Structure 1
Amino acid sequence: MKKTVPAHPHAIAAREDRRAAAIAMGVDEAFIATLVDRFYAAIRRDALLGPIFGERIHDWPAHLAQMNRFWQSILLGAGNFTGNPMAKHLAIPTIGERHFQHWLGLFYATLRDVAPSEGAVALVGARARMIAESLLTGIAVHRDRDPDITRRMVLPHV
């Protein structure tokens, strides 16, 4: 059985402060749902990424619900996401830097269209870039055996 350790009061307070700051910028569950729905609609229409997702996602409502939980956990500290994004991305043999660059471009365009504030654009855009960088680094190290990727990667900023 997995033993859980209660969070330290300072960690709880910091998480609550981050959540309050995000909500003050308009980053809430409704915004996240809109962002996820519009972004994945764009993904499905996209010539580069649409086929990759289409081959792997067979239950779009379930995937969108999972992505909502993911972004709620990332942006609001909801803690309601379970999954292993790294394993999912490692399983795609052809995915590489150009895919993450393109993904970020679509994400940023959608974000700018739906974000309620410039603060929301900055916060969510920075988190998306961190996630893309982390996944790309993990793929380079674990699949491609290329630990120097971080010195060469060029990912856009919001």
Structure 2
Amino acid sequence: MPELIDIQNLDDIKLLVNTFYGKVQKDTLIGPVFNEKIGNNWTAHLERMYRFWQTILLEEHTYSGSPFPPHKHLPVEKAHFNRWMEIFTETIDGLYKGALAEEAKLRAKNMAEMFFYKIEYFRTGGRNFFES
């Protein structure tokens, strides 16, 4: 098996995104949520994800917009975000090794946590949000 290298360019981003979402689509927990939401628009979604990660990791500013609003009303729980993160980490670790690969995992973890808390906040109308 060849030694893994770091994420370096748009082709690496595309491989990451395509591999990750290929796994997501087949996953029994999160696959149905993604497939229901995205429907027949996977090509457009993948293109948007290429631009998102290209902007985040390569600092090539090709993405504009706000990533949270499309997720605001998804029927997801903490387990969905945990599974998303498991698949993302597994995908990164299987393809790449290096500073940008680690940055991708950190950014994904932070985004998953923020999205979960924001979804919960909107779901509860802010009630009991900060109580344990």
Hey, what does 2:15 align to over in structure 1? 34
1:58-77 equivalence runs, <5 A:
58-77=40-59
- In structure 1, stretches of 5+ residues that fail to align are 1-23, 153-158
Q: Distance in 1 between matches of 2:9 and 2:85?
A: 21
Equivalent residues in 2 for 1:50-89, closer than 5 Å: 50-57=31-38, 58-89=40-71
Q: How big is the alpha-carbon RMSD for the aligned residues of Structure 1 and Structure 2? A: 2.0
Deviation at 1:51, TM superposition (A): 0.7
What is the correspondence of 1:1-158 to structure 2 with a 5 Å cutoff? 25-57=6-38, 58-92=40-74, 94-115=75-96, 117-144=97-124, 145=126, 146-148=128-130
Amino acid in structure 2 at the alignment position of 1:100: F
Q: Normalising by structure 2, what TM-score?
A: 0.84
Indicate if the aligned counterparts of 1:89 and 1:95 stay in contact, CA closer than 8 A: no
The structure with higher relative contact order (CA 8 Å, sep 6+) is: 2
CA distance in 1 between partners of 2:51 and 2:23 (Å) = 19
Q: What is the identity, as a one-letter code, of the residue corresponding to 2:79? A: R
The alignment of Structure 1 onto Structure 2 pairs a total of residues equal to: 125
In 2, Cα distance between equivalents of 1:134 and 1:34: 25
The alignment's TM-score, normalised by the length of structure 1, stands at 0.71
- Large movers: runs of 4+ above 4 Å: none
Displacement of 1:25 in angstroms is: 4.1
What runs of 5+ residues in structure 2 fail to find an aligned partner? none
- Assess, with a 3 A threshold, how the Cα gap between structure 1 residues 77 and 84 changes in structure 2: closer, same or farther: same
Q: Do the aligned partners of 2:73 and 2:119 also contact (CA within 8 Å) in 1?
A: no
